[in-house]
Structure 1
Amino acid sequence: MSYFTFHLIFVVPPILLLAWLQRQSFTNEGRRARLALPLIALIAFVYTTPWDNYLVWRGIWEYGISRVVGTIGYVPVEEYLFFMLQPILTGLWLYWLLARDNESLQQKSSSILRVLMLIVGGTLSVAGFLMLRSPSTLYLGLILAWAAPILSLQWVIGAATLWGMKRIWLMGVLVPTVYLWVIDRIAIANGIWQISDTYTTGLQLFGLPIEEATFFLVTNLLVVQGLILFLLLETPQQIVKLIEHIDKSRLLNDR
């Protein structure tokens, strides 16, 4: 199986399905939601490109030469495509949840929660940089050092909002993360890409290197939290209007 075929089988179909299910949803009040998806995909592309090029250059992961169309820098073309497809997949899943979840959106300012999340994020950041000192924890350290500072910023800015939407937040992250774990395991088993034994701990989650599992968890956290905070940038009522509009569009479409 080639990397491009992998996208056609496992990544593109769920995106198309979720987009089709919501084809009537995002108009008028949904402009912010429509803007958020390409914006988050662009940010992911820009932020991930130098980091992933370094991983391949360092030999932390590699790809089958015969499995890719070509490379730009050190990274396969299909990998750049994945930088944008994953945020779109996770984002569309989040939107689907928003339209069906009646979770209370009330927010309570909590300095304690903000400080606690800052401590968690800071600890993960420091742990990541310390892990860079050992070959066996290099990959895990690079993931945490790359992602944890941004996660910390999101938590400090939007801790109360994210906690107030904890059910949507949890399901928005959990489902695409588990799905990506499964298809990543399939890709590794088929030799589309390989993860270095030298730069990993050897720990596995159901046959998947713990580093890969961590990567998909933190990237989906970044996407889901980024989208939620973007939708709520002006006022918490933006998300209420979005949900009401989606529900109204669905009722009209059903008629």
Structure 2
Amino acid sequence: MISAPTYLQFHLVFTLPALAALWAITPRYEGLRRRRSAAGIAVLVGIAYAYTTPWIAHMIRRGAWWYADGAVLVRALSIPLGEYLFFAVQTLLVAFALHRIGFDPSFRNGDFDRRPRIAGVLVGLAALFGGLWLVSLDESFLYLGGLLAWVGPVLALQWAVGGGYLARAPRPWLAATFLPAAYLWTVDRIAIGLGTWRISAELTTGMAVLGLPIEEMVFFAAAGMMAANGLVLFQWVLDWYDRRATLPEDRHDDPIDRAPVPIGSVEPVESVEPAEPMGSVESVELGEPAEPGVDPDLVDD
């Protein structure tokens, strides 16, 4: 009997080659866009490790899934080294797919529209409290309910910040979410079939698509969506800050301190000489002041 592949062998065969292929076709930016793209990826990878590690460790300890004998070589906090590698691999797959698809991070008027932001927050909160309710309902909802409660706060926060932008330009982040997820669904099903890891029947709903538990499908889609949203919002926020920094400061309390009007943009207004009072006549050059009521032209030399 052939033993199940190890977790690291799984990465060498399925995830790392896909990552290298996407990296090869990813556009090469220059200057500021390149620096911001690299910074966004680094920030999202760091967040993925910080936010995902406690949840994954809890699920493994509860027995939501486990690994074949010999499939795990190194563990830390109950989490296999291959699982830690997956955090970075999926984030990078989403990032490279997103940049290959292309997106415009420019801020536009209306991106702070309250309606999509409020709707996104409500969906995130519904996922959080709905997931907690499912976990309390029955142990078969542990994986699904815990997953919804894990993703809910992040989605609520992301949509609270940039829901208007996410609703205005959904194609890039949706494509960057589901294209890598579709590939990961496929290779995850292969790994389950080979026995590298197994999903608990007691802590899941038992519903599956082509042998892949729906919990696994929701996980890869949810994790990809959080990464895609985070990547586009990172650059969008920086663009908003750039535009805000270039706007002149509003100084309503100081009407004198205003931007100068360019020369030629306004027609000059001719000055009007004030009318002289009736009865006053200026003296002729080198002449004496005329007496009141006497015509100067009639004055003898």
AA aligned to 1:200 is T
Map of 2:219 onto structure 1: 215
CA shift digits 1:53-103 (9 cap, x unpaired): 1111111110112112221121111111111111011111101111xx689
Report if the CA contact (8 A) 2:64-2:200 is conserved.
yes
Cα distance 1:184–1:107, how it changes in 2: closer, same or farther (>3 A)?
farther
- State the TM-score, normalizing by the size of structure 2: 0.74
Give % identity: 34
Map residues 19-168 of structure 1 onto 2, 5 A cutoff: 19-22=23-26, 24-98=28-102, 106=108, 108=110, 109-133=112-136, 134-168=138-172
Cα distance 1:82–1:107, how it changes in 2: closer, same or farther (>3 A)?
farther
Cα distance 1:107–1:195, how it changes in 2: closer, same or farther (>3 A)?
farther
CA-based RMSD of the aligned residues comes to 2.0
Cα distance 1:23–1:102, how it changes in 2: closer, same or farther (>3 A)?
closer
1:15 aligns with 2:22: no
Matched residue of 1:201: which SS? coil
Cα distance 1:187–1:137, how it changes in 2: closer, same or farther (>3 A)?
same
**Ranges in structure 2 where 5+ consecutive residues have no aligned partner:** 243-301
Cα distance 1:237–1:13, how it changes in 2: closer, same or farther (>3 A)?
farther
| C-alpha separation in 2, matches of 1:113 and 1:21 | 33
Q: Larger % of helix: which?
A: 1
Report if the CA contact (8 A) 1:69-1:77 is conserved.
yes
AA aligned to 2:33 is E
| C-alpha separation in 1, matches of 2:109 and 2:219 | 29
Report if the CA contact (8 A) 1:151-1:222 is conserved.
yes
**Ranges in structure 1 where 5+ consecutive residues have no aligned partner:** 239-255
Shift of 1:164: 1.6
| C-alpha separation in 2, matches of 1:111 and 1:63 | 45
Matched residue of 1:62: which SS? strand
| C-alpha separation in 2, matches of 1:92 and 1:122 | 29
Map of 1:234 onto structure 2: 238
Report if the CA contact (8 A) 1:188-1:194 is conserved.
yes
Map of 2:8 onto structure 1: 4
Map of 1:205 onto structure 2: 209
Report if the CA contact (8 A) 2:105-2:235 is conserved.
no
**Structure 1 residue ranges (4+ consecutive) displaced by more than 4 angstroms after TM superposition:** 101-107
Matched residue of 1:212: which SS? helix
Shift of 1:46: 1.4
User: Highest Rg: 1 or 2?
Assistant: 2
| C-alpha separation in 1, matches of 2:170 and 2:106 | 10
Cα distance 1:121–1:170, how it changes in 2: closer, same or farther (>3 A)?
same
AA aligned to 2:57 is N
Report if the CA contact (8 A) 1:26-1:33 is conserved.
no
Matched residue of 2:66: which SS? strand
